[in-house]
């Protein structure tokens, strides 16, 4: 790769959650919704696309805005929710249709229908095409028996058939949309070759909380974030479970609309569940993403939370392994992500690539923080889309842990941290939190960013780095430098 790759994998000023990666030709294209830094609700910006060569996942290219909400006539036809300034474009998906064109499926916030845009190239630009509807012309999502239409996933199979997946696990939202059924879960719908007309009526493929009791899905029921993939004849349905932070999956060898069995957890943006861990190692929130095979390897794409809320989310990704039974093993949340190996054990790294972050009292769901003064967060200087990587960790209190995984060390001699501290303190540095620190850096208070250096004990091989702040005052943590 030209450079190393980190998490988040896009520039630190970019906020593209709900990532749907697709390989078209020799590039992987990343589609998703588009949050605004410090926004007051989800998905305030228009759709953008990023792409990278399949053989260099560090070299992401900004393809620009590919679709704007006001291109859709529904933007003005339907009244917007009272609590929103405008209709917003929620999580989309893209497929290459049988005609060779690219179709973008999406839903506006809580309108409850699925719309489609079309383009000649995966990176667009896309133009409005139509709304998914029944043969009688009724829109999907508007019949009383329909589930709430939300978070579409779409697959064009090898035989040219087109399959749409949609659903939402919130019974409250379903009631608000006029739906009266008590059954929740994900719908699967076959579409005609025109890509918008329903060919076969919706059928449930996995259950939601209302109808999961006694099934293997219990405790990991479908909530939202439908996504579908097919690898080597097996269908994999990826979704966000009722746990919110968890991406889980079901798989089927019988077809795109039947025979799905629970597969397990794939990813947690709190790193909860990995190797049996029950403690949140990161401030967590909703999750949405999918798996893609890129240049022979599998990767899981999800997102993390920043800025003390769920409205400025960033894409993160990890390599994920398929076992001999063609089932996926849960991926760990790391700083090196798409890099394919540990990061170099020398050089300067932004604090924003931390994959572990929690206060002395622990981490929690980001929306459940009661006192922000007691907890850290990822944030940035400036406004949205500043196009200048300036993200950092704000408000480390005494005992706050920031962790980075993993580095390949060859006995570095010095470690430098860039801080802005309110009071004198020390930064303790560990490769293992159960062992003694390998470095202790004295930090003085300063009104601006300032660097502080100390010697580090010899470290060899692959290790994590954990920083623990000790002080009566708080600090902002910008970067650290490992030197030989």
Q: For residue 8, say if its preceding peptide bond is cis, omega within 30 degrees of 0.
A: yes
* Helical (H) or strand (E) element with 172: helix 171-176
Within its chain, how far is the Cα of 446 from the centroid? 35
Q: How many Å apart are CA 318 and CA 350, to the nearest integer?
A: 19
The two tokens of residue 274 are 């990995």
Residue from 109, 221, 224, 428 carrying the catalytic annotation:
224
**How are strands ordered across the β-sheet holding 309-320?**
290-294, 297-306, 309-320
Instruction: Report the alpha-carbon distance of residue 458 to residue 439 in Å, rounded.
Output: 10
Query: Is the backbone peptide bond immediately before 240 cis, with ω within 30 degrees of 0?
Result: no
Contact in structure between 223 and 245 (CB atoms under 8 Å): no
Indicate if 447 belongs to the active site: no
Cross-strand pairs, 42: none
Residues paired with residue 362 on neighbouring β-strands, in sequence order: 359
Q: Which of 14, 18, 146, 292 is catalytic?
A: 18
- Is 379:306 a contact under the CB 8 Å cutoff? yes
**Of 426, 403, 412, whose CA–CA distance to 473 is shortest?**
426
In angstroms, rounded to a whole number, what is the distance separating the alpha carbons of residues 90 and 368?
A: 23
User: What is d(CA 348, CA 320) in angstroms, rounded to the nearest whole number?
Assistant: 27
138 classed as catalytic: no
Inter-CA distances, 431 with 177, 336, 381, 417, 467, Å: 51, 16, 30, 16, 9
CA pair distance 252, 239, nearest whole angstrom: 14
Query: Which residue's structure tokens are 């949140």?
Result: 280
Helix (H, G, I), strand (E, B), or coil: what is residue 337? Answer: helix
Question: Which residue numbers are catalytic?
Answer: 18, 224
């Amino acid at each position: 790769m030209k450079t190393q790759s980190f998490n988040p994998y896009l520039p630190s000023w970019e906020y593209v959650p709900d990532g749907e990666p697709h390989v078209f030709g020799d590039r992987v294209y990343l589609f998703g919704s588009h949050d605004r830094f410090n926004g007051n609700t989800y998905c305030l910006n228009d759709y953008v696309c990023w792409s990278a060569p399949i053989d260099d996942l560090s070299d992401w290219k900004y393809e620009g805005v590919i679709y704007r909400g006001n291109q859709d006539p529904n933007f003005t036809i339907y009244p917007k929710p009272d609590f929103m300034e405008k209709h917003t474009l929620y999580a989309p998906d893209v497929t290459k249709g049988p005609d060779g064109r690219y179709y973008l499926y999406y839903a506006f916030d809580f309108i409850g229908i699925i719309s489609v845009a079309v383009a000649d190239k995966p990176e667009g630009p896309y133009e409005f095409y139509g709304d998914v509807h029944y043969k009688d012309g009724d829109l999907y999502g508007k019949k009383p028996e329909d589930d709430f239409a939300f978070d579409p996933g779409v697959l064009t199979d090898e035989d040219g058939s087109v399959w749409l997946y949609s659903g939402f696990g919130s019974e409250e939202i379903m009631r608000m949309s006029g739906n009266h059924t008590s059954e929740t879960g994900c719908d699967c719908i076959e579409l005609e070759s025109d890509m918008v007309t329903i060919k076969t009526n919706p059928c449930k493929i996995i259950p939601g909380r209302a109808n999961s009791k006694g099934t293997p899905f219990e405790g990991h029921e479908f909530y939202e974030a439908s996504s579908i993939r097919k690898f080597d004849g097996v269908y994999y349905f990826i979704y966000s479970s009722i746990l919110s932070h968890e991406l889980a999956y079901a798989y089927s060898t019988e077809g795109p609309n039947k025979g799905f069995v629970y597969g397990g957890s794939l990813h947690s943006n709190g790193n909860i569940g990995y190797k049996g861990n029950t403690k949140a190692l990161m401030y967590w929130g909703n999750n949405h993403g999918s798996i893609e095979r890129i240049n022979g390897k599998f990767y899981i794409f999800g997102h993390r939370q920043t800025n003390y809320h769920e409205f400025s989310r960033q894409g993160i990704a990890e390599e994920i392994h398929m076992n001999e039974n063609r089932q996926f093993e849960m991926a760990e949340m790391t700083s090196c992500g798409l890099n394919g190996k540990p990061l170099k054990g020398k050089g300067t790294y932004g604090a924003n690539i931390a994959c572990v972050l929690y206060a002395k009292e622990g981490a929690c769901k980001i929306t459940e923080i009661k006192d922000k003064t007691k907890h850290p967060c990822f944030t940035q200087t400036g406004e949205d889309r500043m196009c200048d990587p300036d993200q950092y960790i704000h408000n480390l209190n005494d005992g706050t842990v920031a962790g980075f995984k993993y580095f390949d060390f060859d006995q570095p001699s010095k470690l430098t941290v860039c801080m802005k501290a309110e009071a004198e303190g020390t930064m303790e540095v560990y490769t293992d939190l159960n062992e003694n620190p390998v470095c202790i850096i004295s930090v003085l208070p300063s009104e601006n960013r300032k660097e502080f250096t100390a010697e580090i004990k010899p470290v060899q091989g692959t290790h994590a780095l954990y920083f623990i702040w000790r002080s009566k005052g708080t600090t902002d943590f910008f970067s650290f430098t490992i030197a030989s």
